[in-house]
Structure formats: structure tokens, C-alpha cells
Structure 1
Amino acid sequence: MKETKEKILSIENLVIKFSLRGKVLTAIRDVSLDLYKGESLAIVGESGSGKSVLMKSIMGLLDKNGYIAQGKILYQEKDLAQFKTEKDWLKIRGKEIAMVTQDPMTSLNPLKNIGKQIEEAVVLHQGLKGKEAYEKVLQLLRDVGIQDPERRYKQYPHEFSGGMRQRIVIAIAIACNPKILICDEPTTALDVTIQAQILNLLKTLQEKYQLTTIYITHDLGVVAKVADRVAVMYAGDVIEFGKTDEIFFNAKHPYTWALISALPQLGEKGKELYSIKGTPPNLFKEIKGDAFAPRNPYALKIDFVETPPYFKVSDTHFAKTWLMHPNAPKVEPPEVLKKFFEEGRLYAHGG
């Protein structure tokens, strides 16, 4: 019997543009993506690939010069792309969809103790007041792993370490009681041991609060730890998506190959680490064909002329590359990846 998952959010043919100095930049180019209830979806790609813009559009946080030119963002039978006023967004932002930002120092008010900052979200989104609100804040502090919450409640952001501040930011997001939690590079500013603690914490909270989570990251190590599914973005487009194992061990798009090849653990002693040659395309200009073609050593002639459609790899795995066309020449992934894929498949099947 085929498992049917409930869609919680659907993005359909979304195009987002920005007006800059009299020119128009297309930051998101015809993106369609579904999010399923209870899952963890990771959105990966280089800086500037459109990950954060895509997520900001879901929360109505686009900069003033940004706008949705086409498409739908469907959530609970509402099209968020049609929302125009702050009043509309306040029904969704925080209450239904909350965000953990990447820099906890700039997210917190340095002049207000952390207890009051969490309490604001509890009062606004859960309707609790007085002692009830205070007790809820203490519970949230315990949930995010902060000991001695009564004392910590009265302290200010500068009295906490980076990892502790990130826990406070997570507590504020959870205090909103959201259905969807967006984590924008939640471990970027933290050292490796603290990163692991924060990722474990987010997984625990996801189960406890029945959250659907989206991770925005360029760190594939983070993806491997937390994600059920992965969407790979390049130049404002989702070029491959599938289950985490499918993306890691059976990737089909040359850009995904390049991202995985750049993992430090695939480096060989005495050799330079792999890096993707060239630069991403200029999004002020119209992109013809596959946006990755100029940087792609496996590019075909058609890549420079026509945008590839999604080709089906499995029921859950799709890739936008002409290399998947039945008439395309057979191209093997780089040698370093073939070995990695092989080991990964063996590992995935308990070999």
C-alpha cells in the first residue's frame, strides 16, 4: 500500500523579483516545492542561490524592493502570495510559521532580559498572562536545555554564550506554538561541538512539539544529520530534490555532484580540496538553458539553449538535467563520488 503524506505547504511556479537601481533581478525562477507534515526538509546551495529569499517569501519578510511576480504559496487553503498587508501576515507569522535566524546576537534585544523576550511571544501567540506566562517561559527554557531557568530568566543576552543565545532564539520561535519552523543556517556562528548539540535539540523539539521543519544551509554535514528530504537550489531554481539518501548516494545533477565533491571528508591528503570553478550567473540577465551550464564540465549543447524539465529518478527523486534524457550520452559521476556513492549505498542497506 502506498504511503500518502499530508501536504502542509505547497509552492507553485513561484517567481520573485527585486527592483535595484532601475534594473530587475529575478531571485526565484519558477520554483515549485511541497512540504509534508512532520518532515524535515533541507534546502541547500551556495550563497546567493535563493534559499533565504524563498523562505522569507513564506513569512512575508521580503525586502521592500522585492515582490512576488508569479505563482502561489498555499498554506491551509490560503494563498500567502496574495497577502498584501501586515495584518494578514500577523495571522501566519510566528503563530503558524516561525523562524530561527542565523545570528542570535542581532536577533535578541540587548536591553531586555531574555525572560521578557520569550514572554512577549507567549503572551502574543498563546494568550497566556501573569504567572501562567512566567511558568510557560520557564518550561521553554528547560525544553531548550537551559538550566536554572529562574535565574536565567532575569539575565541579558550578553550574559550568555553563542550556543546559549541560539537556544534562547529557538525558545522564542517555539513559544509562538508554530506548525512550521524555519531554521536559517541555525549553526553557522557556532563551533562544531555546539553545532551538534543545537541540531540534536532541534530534532528533540520537532518530536515534542510536532513540528514540520525547514533547514536552510550550505553545510551538507548538517543536512545528513537532520533532513528527511533535500532540495538543491542553484541560481534561484530547485534543480534536484529527493530523500536524503537519494541525494547523497544517487545524485544526478552535476551541480549536486559538485556540492558533494566539495565535502572536506572527501578530500585526499596532499591534494587540493575540490572547488566549483567559475561564478554563479548574473540574475539581472535572462538565463537561457541550464543556469549551471557555463560551470558544468559535463554540459551538453542543449544545456546552453533549453532549460531542462524535471526527469524522474524514482517516485521521490527528481533532477533537472538533460543528462537524464534517454538520448543523452552516458556520463559517470566523478571518480571520488563513485566510491562515496558505492559506500553510501552499502551503508544504507546495512552492508
Structure 2
Amino acid sequence: MTKRNIILSVDNLVIKFQLRGKVLTAIRGASLDLYEGESLAIVGESGSGKSVFTKSFMGLLDKNGWIDSGSIIYGGNDLAKYNRERDWLNIRGKEIAMIFQEPMTSLNPLKSIGKQVKESIQLHQNLKGKAAKEEAIKILRDVGIDNPEKRYNQYPHEFSGGMRQRVVIAIAVGCKPNILICDEPTTALDVTIQAQILDLLKTLKKKYSLTTIYITHDLGVVANVADRVAVMYGGDIIEIGKSEEIFYNPKHPYTWALLSSLPQLGKKGEALYSIKGTPPNLFHDIKGDPFAPRNPKALKIDFIKKPPYFHVSPTHKVKSWLLDPRAPKVKPPKSLKLLRYKIGDDLDEK
């Protein structure tokens, strides 16, 4: 395997929140290495911890949340130890930028879109006046906005949803970050526009030498954009590997369940597969494998002891006792064999 540089390394991260007099543990010992130049997708159900995990890289946790333990190493510094806003100003935007899922919550309705892109350029690229405006127009053109000289002076309400998302992307790119986090960037858009935005992000990644993280529950998006996939459940990364390893050779029962829920595997006249039960209550201590109560193939040890990572390959590891040599052999659902035929083109075209 070609040696790659680790641009960001998270080790045993624990994040907690104070809610209604109780403590909720949102991230439970998650670890992750992010490699320079890659596209990583973090997938999982709502509430699995995807957004909280990545917001901690930028110091964007809500005021009632804190990093309880663990480390986030970036540029030789431990971001988990940052507790002053001025420390984060050197990271947020300039080094790590984020695109949120609803552009209207990210844009100021009282400012022209050109001024908003120009602001990020002035703040992070050290350009002023005419030079900053010219750079803003260039970036607006790069994100696919026609006639950017004219559109520069227009306001967010004059743009469609897809065009507003392009403006938000332009603001993020204008910061010239090393890492770009895309938090459900296509959720609020129709299918045709989704495809355009994903193609745009892939183009910008190459042009601006970005390392990208996609946060999503849409596995169709993952197949189209990701080099690697990290599967989150109950505040931890329970499986991580190359896209083809996760889609074609998944090993954790939760990953099996997620993939089985893909609409592409549905059969006409039959109900789509759904995962039974509900995610764990994060106010409580979780013993063993957090997915065990929802896993019909759970072993006794799954309810008692948290599994370590088992390595399937040098690039693929899984937290599941089913990978222990002493465990019974349990095969994945037969329906997953269809994945190669259903989404193979997306994986091949990436």
C-alpha cells in the first residue's frame, strides 16, 4: 500500500454535553486518521454522532458541550486542548472549512453574495479591495455561477437552492482551506441538482488540492464521491475501509443493515428493508457493542464487552466480535451480493 501523509489524527475522542441536568456522551472513544488528498465519507443514522464529531475539529461544539478526553492532532497541535476563541481563529476557515446542508442558514440575506465571498477571501487570503473582488468573481465562476460579474451584486433570495449552495461552497473555497467538511451538502436539493453539486465538489477538490470529508446518511452519495468510508454508530466508528471494501465486503452487522436499506436493493411489490429498534440512549452507559440490542445475530459477548478493532486488511478494520477467530461464522445477507451490480458503475467512475 502506498504510504500517505496523515493530515489529521483523532485518537480515543470523548465528547459530552450537559442537557437538562444530565450528561450525554455523544462521542465515545472514536479514533480516525484522515489522509492528505483523500475523500472520506462518514455515514450513519441521525444521532450517530457524525456532525458532532467533525464540528469538534473546528471548535464548533455548542456551549453546553465539551471534549472530555482524547486528542485531535492537526499540524502538530492538539486541537482538543484549544479552549480560547482566538486559538480557533487560526484553524476555522483558514485550515478547516465546512459546508452546511441548508445554505439559507449560512448566508446573510442582507449582504450581496459577492461581498460574502469577498469577506472570506479578505480574512483568509490576505487580499484586499479590487484583488479580493477579482478573486471572488473567479471563485464564483469556478463553482458554476454564470455571469459572476453581474451575480456578484445580487442577494441570496435572488438565487435558487442549488445556486445558493454553490455560493456557500464558494465562501468555503475562498478561505483556501486544507480540509473541507461537507455536512449533508445535497440533502435540501432535488436529485438532478444533487448530482451537479457532487460533480462540482469533486472538480474543486482536484483544482484546489482539498482533503474532503462528507457527512451523510445517503450511501448513494458515498459510492459516488468517497475513497474511504467510516461507519458511525452510537458515537463510535465501528467500521472503516476503502469504499469498495465497505460496499463489497462489509463485516459489521450494522453496516450490513445500512446497506440492506438501500433503495437500489428493493424489489417491486415488497417493502424496503428497515433496521428494527432504535439507536442507543446516549444518556446511559453502553456496555458491549452498541448495536447488539438491534442485531438479530448478536453474540452473548456483544452485550458484555466492547469489541476492539479487528483488521480485515491493512485498510479495513471493524469493531465486531464476529471477526474474533473463536466466533461462529455468520454470513452477510444474501441481498448484499446485488450491490456490485446495482452501484458498481458509481464506484468504478469515482
Same fold (TM over 0.5): yes
SS in 1 for 2:114: helix
Question: For 1:159 and 1:349, how far apart are their aligned partners in 2?
Answer: 38
Report the equivalent of 1:150: 149
SS in 2 for 1:17: strand
Question: For 2:221 and 2:66, how far apart are their aligned partners in 1?
Answer: 30
- Counterpart check, 1:140 vs 2:149: no
Aligned residues of 2:224 and 2:346 also touching (Cα < 8 A): no
Aligned residues of 2:308 and 2:320 also touching (Cα < 8 A): yes
Report the equivalent of 1:128: 127
Report the equivalent of 1:309: 308
Report the equivalent of 1:4: 3
- Counterpart check, 1:185 vs 2:204: no
Question: For 1:12 and 1:203, how far apart are their aligned partners in 2?
Answer: 28
- Residue 338 of structure 1: CA displacement? 3.1
Report the equivalent of 1:269: 268
Letter in 2 for 1:157: P
- Residue 345 of structure 1: CA displacement? 8.3
Question: For 1:167 and 1:349, how far apart are their aligned partners in 2?
Answer: 26
Q: Normalising to structure 1: TM-score of the pair? A: 0.97
Identity of aligned residues (%): 71
Report the equivalent of 2:22: 23
Matches within 5 A, 1:70-89: 70-89=69-88
Question: For 2:273 and 2:333, how far apart are their aligned partners in 1?
Answer: 11
Aligned residues of 1:239 and 1:253 also touching (Cα < 8 A): yes
Question: For 2:16 and 2:347, how far apart are their aligned partners in 1?
Answer: 40
Query: 1:221-250: per-residue Cα shift (whole Å, max 9, x none)?
Result: 000000000000001000000000000000
Q: Normalising to structure 2: TM-score of the pair? A: 0.97
Report the equivalent of 1:297: 296
Report the equivalent of 1:215: 214
- Residue 127 of structure 1: CA displacement? 1.1
Alignment CA distance shift 1:87-1:21 (3 Å): same
Report the equivalent of 2:236: 237
Alignment CA distance shift 1:349-1:210 (3 Å): closer
Query: 1:167-219: per-residue Cα shift (whole Å, max 9, x none)?
Result: 00000000000000000000000000100000000000000000000000000
Report the equivalent of 2:334: 335
- Residue 339 of structure 1: CA displacement? 3.8
Alignment CA distance shift 1:230-1:23 (3 Å): same
- Residue 340 of structure 1: CA displacement? 3.0
Gaps of 5+ in 1: none
Ranges of 4+ aligned residues in structure 1 off by more than 4 Å = 341-350
Alignment CA distance shift 1:269-1:121 (3 Å): same
Equivalenced residues, count: 349
SS in 1 for 2:45: coil
Cα RMSD between the aligned structures? 1.6
SS in 1 for 2:72: strand
Aligned residues of 1:15 and 1:71 also touching (Cα < 8 A): yes
- Residue 321 of structure 1: CA displacement? 0.6
- Residue 341 of structure 1: CA displacement? 5.3
